[in-house]
Structure 1
Amino acid sequence: DDDFLAFHGLTKGDSNILSVGDFMTLSAAVPVEAFNSGGAGANMAYTLAKLGQSVRFLARVGSEPAGEHFFTDMIGVGVMMVPPSREVRTLEILVLVTPDGERTMAQAQPPQESADDTWVEDRFLEDSRWVIVEGYAAAAHPAAATYAWQQTPEARRALLLPAPHACQDHAARLAELMDRFEPMVIGNYKEYEALLGAVPKVADVLRRVPHVITSSRGVARFIHEGQQEEAAPVPVDVPVDSTGAGDAFAAGFLLEYAGSGKGDVALKRGHQLALATLQKLGPRLEEPAQVWAEPLV
């Protein structure tokens, strides 16, 4: 509950960075109900693959059990991915879900920024229609993100904003990539607020790039070429778990928009997948195609 989060010094609804000792203390204090693969880009890739899309996921995971589990999950649904490596460590995150369905994340020792782009394999980039960069990857691997977009000038680009604290901590890096490559930007209200608070000039960039403001429980907006489209979700009294709802929204929006080009319909598709995700425990829909086949509200 909220008191538990406050006791451990956690900011509700955000991703919290802890010392190793505090992370171990927190881990011992909470029951683990499920062990899931996750991450915004990975959740999106998983959902798009489940919806029949050809997806290549460029990421590095370790060869420990967590990394092997992640890799098996992804290739199991047809996502192309490089095998686990002994050279890296898989990031593990605690996701705490309060009774109101809000998710709060905690992690120790986030990846250090790396200038290495040699692990980005060109075969993953060839003939890509969209190259989507996760905000955490852009912050930790700016050279790799830059290389991926430089090598794919014909592809559409999208940037998934990270959690508010990461938007704030890495605002300059994110702003630089947005200004240089002008991707479609996707994030929720809190993420945009954190980014704009840290680097106000981002507002100038957003005026010239398409951007989606997601909201799994409120009005979502798509702003592009001086126009704004909106869509409200079907209300949910008490969600089970908000983890992954924004990622499902992004997957639904991009898949529809890439096909039809209709922003209003794409927003509704985003809400459709987000709503289904809110009503279950865990970050991913196992049968998104069934949800996709339902009539849009």
Structure 2
Amino acid sequence: MADIVTIGESMVLFQPYTGGGIKYTPLLTKSVGGAESNLAFGLTKLGRKVRWVSRVGNDPFGELILATLAGEGVDVTHAVKDPDHPTALYFKEAKVPSDPSVYYYRQQSAASRFSSDHIRSEWFKDARHLHVTGITPALGEETAAFTKEAMIQAREQGLTVSFDPNLRRKLWDDHTARKVLLDLIPYCDVFLPGIEEAEFLLGEKSSAAYGEEFLNMGPSVVAMKLGEEGSIGFTNGHVFEAPGHTVKQVVDTVGAGDAFAAGLLDSLLEEKSLFDKETIVRTLPQALEQANITGALATQFSGDWEGAPTKEEVRQYMNNGKMVTR
């Protein structure tokens, strides 16, 4: 059984041991990074059963990714080791006060070879929900069609689907990115754009206009991330605003959006009938609040997922705005 299935590429992440820039640092640390695995880590910490589907190289980097995910309780039995293509790598360096800079080495990686022929019905067996991002379509020649077909087959097997555009402009040109991402929106039930991604897709508009236009494309729920201001949700003629949660110091913003998605989906999945109209109107405000907390807390650690909170930590924070640590 799985609460959520997620499909996408994970990479081995290298970053300076002492922070700062890469150029002159003598030591790098290694860990695991990738939007879909970040979500998987976040959901398992919240007590959810997650099935992660991907392709890694038959190399030490792929072994590290599989061992790390399995060690955190994620089901990796549907991940494939590709003997002919490597595991992707990426490097990250701090750029104070802006977001970190990242450098990808993922061309011709194992996950970039995904095609529709690889999809298996057992990926979705005994699962409730599929989560995909806009990163996978950008990886290879056939990965956009692969992502779309996975969404279609998941829905045919009774799963609901969430889609985070997770725009990565270094991976493809703007015209292609906009066209492909817009084409995928009708196949999801929950759409999770950031405010800047919404502007990229639709041009400059108000938040309300974004919500209305995205809902008209097919999703039942649009949950839009607004950064420090929190988030705003749209569904069935209702609009819900959830204020952001202030943290003392932002260490690393990478992965915060994935933590937001994990918090939102965990809360929505508390209900057996995920997208009953009355249910979603009742549950979306709390889901946005939890998502804001998980997203904010994820920025407190250096790493893409290491700061994801447990369910107990979220409960403590929601009850009194702070966590009891000793």
TM-score, structure 2 length as denominator?
A: 0.73
Select 1:95's aligned residue among 82, 92, 117.
92
Contact 2:251 2:300 in 1 (8 A): yes
Q: How many angstroms apart in 2 are the aligned matches of 1:289 and 1:94?
A: 30
Q: Report how far residue 95 of structure 1 moved.
A: 1.9
Matched, 1:117 2:116: yes
Contact 2:52 2:74 in 1 (8 A): yes
Q: What is the aligned partner in structure 2 of residue 67 from structure 1? A: 62
Contact 1:62 1:90 in 2 (8 A): yes
Q: Deviations over 1:239-286 (max 9, x none)?
A: 111121111111001110221541111111112112221112111136
Q: How many angstroms apart in 1 are the aligned matches of 2:257 and 2:127?
A: 23
Q: How many angstroms apart in 2 are the aligned matches of 1:212 and 1:32?
A: 39
**3-state SS, counterpart of residue 137 of structure 2:** helix
Select 1:78's aligned residue among 73, 95, 110.
73
Q: Percent sequence identity over matched residues?
A: 22
Q: How many angstroms apart in 2 are the aligned matches of 1:241 and 1:271?
A: 16
Q: Report how far residue 42 of structure 1 moved.
A: 0.9
Contact 1:215 1:246 in 2 (8 A): no
Q: Report how far residue 111 of structure 1 moved.
A: 5.1
Distance 1:93 1:64, change over 3 A: same
Matched, 1:159 2:163: yes
Matched, 1:50 2:45: yes
**3-state SS, counterpart of residue 79 of structure 1:** coil
Matched, 1:255 2:266: yes
Q: How many angstroms apart in 2 are the aligned matches of 1:228 and 1:155?
A: 25
- What runs of 5+ residues in structure 2 fail to find an aligned partner? 1-20, 205-209, 272-279, 322-326
Q: What is the aligned partner in structure 2 of residue 10 from structure 1? A: none
Query: How many aligned positions are there?
Result: 270
Q: CA RMSD in A?
A: 2.9
**3-state SS, counterpart of residue 149 of structure 1:** helix
**3-state SS, counterpart of residue 132 of structure 2:** strand
Q: Report how far residue 234 of structure 1 moved.
A: 2.1
Runs of 4+ aligned structure 1 residues displaced above 6 Å come to none
Q: How many angstroms apart in 2 are the aligned matches of 1:88 and 1:135?
A: 22
Q: What is the aligned partner in structure 2 of residue 231 from structure 1? A: 242
Q: What is the aligned partner in structure 2 of residue 196 from structure 1? A: 202
Matched, 1:172 2:179: yes
Q: What is the aligned partner in structure 2 of residue 185 from structure 1? A: 191
Q: What is the aligned partner in structure 1 of residue 127 from structure 2? A: 128
Report the residue type matching 1:225 in the other structure: N
Report the residue type matching 1:228 in the other structure: V
Contact 1:131 1:155 in 2 (8 A): yes
- What runs of 5+ residues in structure 1 fail to find an aligned partner? 1-25
